[in-house]
Homo-oligomer: A and B are copies of this chain.
Amino acid sequence: MENVEKMKAFFQKDAFAAGIGLEICSVTDREAVITVQITDGHLNANGCVQGGMLYSIADFAFATISNFLHPITVTQSGHIQYLRAAFTSSLKAVARERARCGRNTACEVTVYDDKDEVVCVCHFSGFVKETAAH
């Protein structure tokens, strides 16, 4: 839980993440897990979770693992492949670093629905800026 508290503090001023209900669930060297309880405000015209919302939870999972492993990391690019419509009461995003070389990091994020089915798979690249003073 110490890691979770640390990353909550890191992102405490992220108003967008808070506003859409993202919760940092767990953080280890291996992975970060973000969850969200789905409400009507997350849905698109078809009644499933909107594509921007799906990307946003994935992006926040990437930001969490990469800034945990090596702050400050800024996102350079994100890629998302949608696999199924998300008719679900909650989402879970799991982020892992696949490789790092110098200041460049490559991470994968998978987003699951409440049946643990994969909703989308994502890839993010980040650039590690000068290390935060701790």
Using a CB–CB cutoff of 8 Å, the interface residues on chain A facing chain B are 10-17, 19-20, 40-45, 47, 49-53, 55-57, 59-60, 63, 74-84, 98-102, 104, 106, 108, 110, 117-118, 121, 123, 125
Contacts and interface: CB of A to CB of B under 8 A. Distances in A.
A123 B125 contact: no
Contact of A99 (B17, B60, B83): B83
A13 B123 contact: no
Nearest to A16: B50
A101 B118 contact: yes
Given A15-B41, A106-B118, 5 more contacts: A16-B53, A53-B56, A55-B59, A98-B108, A108-B123
Dominant secondary structure of chain A at its interface with chain B: mixed
A37 to B, nearest CB: 14
Nearest to A13: B45
A70 to B, nearest CB: 15
Contact of A55 (B12, B44, B52): B52
Nearest to A121: B106
Contacts of A50: 14-17, 56
